[in-house]
Amino acid sequence: MNAALMRAALVALCLVLVPPSTLDAQFGGRGRGERGRAEDAPENPPYDGRFTFVRIRYDVGLGGGGFGRRGRDLPWAHDYPRGERHFTKLFDELTTARVRTQESVILSLDDPELFKYPVAYMAEPGFWTTTEAEVEGMRAYLQKGGFFIFDDFRGQHWYNFEAQLRRVLPDARLVRLTVDHPIFDSFYKIETLVSRDPIYGAQPEYYGVFEDNDPSKRLMIIVNYNQDLSEYWEFSDEGWFPIDLSNEAYKLGVNYMIYALSR
């Protein structure tokens, strides 16, 4: 078995063989109806040099309170904490990186602590709003080498996301990525980007913003539109989604992190 097949098999084994009771014990016992909420978040752990999952919090725009099955969750906290706990556990097992698996960090864009972490993640940017200080903070973070992941939004939520991003990078070009971009071959070889969201039925699309708007330079931002990777991570131990979709979500997440850490 070649190295790529071995890695793919390991992902499947991690997802299938780790029982839900084990994951619940490791990650606070939160199930489908007992997800974490923003107000439950503990204080951030001190920086210690390990790779740490950073989730960005933001003030919510009009109409952005909790909705539907998510109860009192704020949009930026969707899939917290199980999404990142499951992902970092797998990332730790698959790579030689020193990974913090039991805790993550929640920061605002204007927090100086953000500059200690190379990758930042934001959920539901359809509800994202920015202050002037946050605009300046995010712009500086990207210019200094930070990598940003936008996830978990679809449909008309694109318009608010793009409007807020234009505040940060007024001249940014959002380029639709194809499967031949290096980010899709940084650890796993992603064969296709064609899939179907089993909840909303939309075709996921992936966009990027490049340094100096030059596709030959560093990718600074990746945008998962009509996609929700952390939803697959969160429920990968509960059988809500097909194993192959959960595997692909983990593969994409691992690729994003390896790309960001190696450039």
pLDDT of residue 12: 42
| Cis peptide, bond prior to residue 112, ω within 30 of zero | no
Sheet of 175-176: strands edge to edge? 105-107, 54-56, 119-123, 147-153, 219-225, 205-210, 175-176
What residues are paired with 148 via a beta bridge? 120, 221
First to last CA, the chain: 29
Integer Cα distance of 38 and 75 in angstroms: 9
Cα–Cα distance for residue pair 153/161, rounded to 1 Å:
9
**Which residues are registered as beta bridge partners of 175?**
208
pLDDT of the chain, 263 residues: tens digit per residue: 344 433 444 444 344 333 333 333 333 333 333 455 566 678 999 999 999 999 999 999 754 443 333 434 799 999 999 999 999 999 999 999 999 999 999 999 999 999 999 999 999 999 999 999 999 999 999 999 999 999 999 999 999 999 999 999 999 999 999 999 999 999 999 999 988 776 777 899 999 999 999 999 999 999 999 999 999 999 998 888 889 899 999 999 999 999 999 98
